[in-house]
Amino acid sequence: MANLTINGKTFTLDIEPETPLLWAIRENAGLTGTKYGCGIAQCGACTVHMDGVAMRSCGVTVSEAEGKKITTIEGLASGDSLHKVQEAWIAQDVPQCGYCQSGMIMAVAALLNEKPKPTDADIDEAITNICRCGTFAQVREAIHTIASA
């Protein structure tokens, strides 16, 4: 059994402690917005926040996540009002297939938390998610739009 705090809610899950957080979120907590892409912390599709820090949830175990405040894409909005990154994503029409975008948005939200006005170099360093459709130009533009708002 493990207790996970996800999006402000406590989940008591019948789960082995070494299970990757990604699968606990998707299969045990039933939140499928966080995506599986590689399972080896390469692609970033599974990015969530752990105590406000962007983490690749496929590389974090349930036992490591216990006691931490986990936020997934479903928990990014405050009630009915979307997070500024989600709003910017909609305004810029960023997603193509969209599969990587939950992770991309979570990574960007964490970056903006830390650096509200990131430079291109900051973006290059912090955003290392893979997008096979190739939305990078829109991602960068949307980040700058938020930063200059």
Partner 1 sequence: MNKHFSPTMNRRAFVIGTAAVGAGLAIGLDLPFGGPAVVRAADGSPEIGAWVVIRPDDTVVIRIARSEMGQGSLTGLAQLVAEELECDWTKVTTEYPTPGQSVARKRVWGDFSTGGSRGIRSSQDYVRKGGATARVMLIQAAADAWKVPASECTAANSVITHTLSGRTTTYGKVAEAAAKLTPPAEVKLKDPKDWKLIGKGVKRLDTVDKTTGAMIYGADIKLPGMLNAAIKDCPVFGGKLKSFDEAKIAGLKGVKKVVKVGDTAVAVVADTWWHAKTALEALPIVWDEGDNAKVSSASIAKWLAEGLDDAQPAYVGNKNGDAKAAIAGAAKKVEAVYSYPYQNHATMEPMNATALYTADKCEVWCGTQNGEAAFAAVLEASGLPAEKCDVHKVMPGGGFGRRGQTDYVRQAVMIAKQMPGTPIKLLWSREEDMAHGRYHPITQCKMTGAFDANNNLIALHYRLSGQSILFSLRPEALQNGMDPAAFQGVAQSGEAAFGYSVPNLLIEHAMRNPHVPPGFWRGVNVNHNAIYMECFMDELAQAAGQDPLEFRRKLMGNHPKHLAVLNAVAEKIGWDTPAPQGVYRGIAQVMGYGSYVAGAAEISVTDGSKIKVHRIVASTDPGYIVNPAQVERQIAGSFVYGLSALFYGGCTVKDGKIEQTNFDTYNSMRINEMPKVESVMVPSGGFWGGVGEPTIGVAAPAVLNAYFAATGKRIRSVPLRDQNITFA
Residue 59 identity (one-letter amino acid)? G
Q: Quick count: other Cβ atoms within 10 Å of Cβ 67?
A: 10
DSSP string for residues in 9-35 = EEEEE---TTSBHHHIIIIIS--TTS-
**Near partner 1 by CB under 8 A, which window of 15-23, 49-57, 63-71, 109-117?**
15-23
Q: Per CB under 8 A, does 109 bind partner 1?
A: no
Q: Which is nearer to partner 1, 42 or 63 (CB)?
A: 42
* Residue 57 in the binding site for partner 1 (CB under 8 A): no
**Residue of the chain from 2, 4, 29, 43 that contacts partner 1 (CB under 8 A):** 43
d(CA 98, CA 140): 16
Determine the straight-line distance between the first and last CA of the chain, rounded to whole angstroms: 44
Contacts with partner 1, residue ranges (CB under 8 A): 16, 19-20, 23, 27-28, 30-40, 42-43, 45, 72-74, 76-77, 82, 86, 89-90, 93-102, 105, 123-125, 127-140
